[in-house]
Amino acid sequence: MIKVLFVCLGNICRSPMAHMVFQNMINEKGLASDFEIDSAGTEGYNEMCHAGIHRGTKEILRRKGVPFEEHYSRKIRKKDYEYFDYIVAMDAENIEDIECIVGQDKDNKIKRLLDYTNNPRNIKDPWYTGNFDETYDDVVEGCEAFFKYLNI
């Protein structure tokens, strides 16, 4: 079982998008029973509000034909670090924030999603840019590269 946790700031835009895109990719490859996939945020405010996936993320997932279930935001916990094999962040700030919560990345599990591509970079936050299309393209590029990296 390969356990993957996607992480962003709010856990309502980018990490649920990556969670659903990667889950769909895995399901389509018939590998669902080999993976446990989840997402979380580095901030707790949405957890307090029990926020669901942002409507911009839902809208693009629907438009691209990616099935998804509702996901309620939660804050990453220290024990997530031990539990998950891969902690996949959206940007460099996420990594700093994750390490504040879980401690130093002693097992080298934490990377940005686009670090798995030939063009390592942050995924911009559509909460601020409003550009869910750009985020979706980056998420797909990253998920494909991450799957390739896993070499299954």
Q: How many residues does the chain have?
A: 152
Give 125 or 138: the residue with its C-beta nearer to ligand 4NP: 125
The reply on whether position 39 binds ligand 4NP by CB under 6 A is: no
Active site annotation includes 125: yes
Which is closer to ligand 4NP, CB of 24 or CB of 46? 46
Q: Is 16 helix (H, G, I), strand (E, B) or coil?
A: helix
125, 136, 138, 143: which one binds ligand 4NP (CB under 6 A): 125
* The residue type at 112: R
Residue 107 a catalytic site member: no
Known catalytic residue at 8: yes
Among the residue ranges 3-11, 20-28, 97-105, 107-115, the one whose residues contact ligand 4NP (CB under 6 A): 3-11
Looking at residue 130, the DSSP 8-state letter turns out to be -
22's enclosing H/E stretch is: helix 14-28
Please state, as a whole number, how many other Cβ atoms lie within 10 Å of the Cβ of residue 105: 14
12 vs 87, which CB is nearer to ligand 4NP? 12
* Helix runs in the chain, H state only: 14-28, 45-49, 55-63, 78-83, 92-102, 126-129, 132-150
* Segment contacting ligand 4NP by CB under 6 A, of 6-14, 19-27, 62-70, 142-150: 6-14
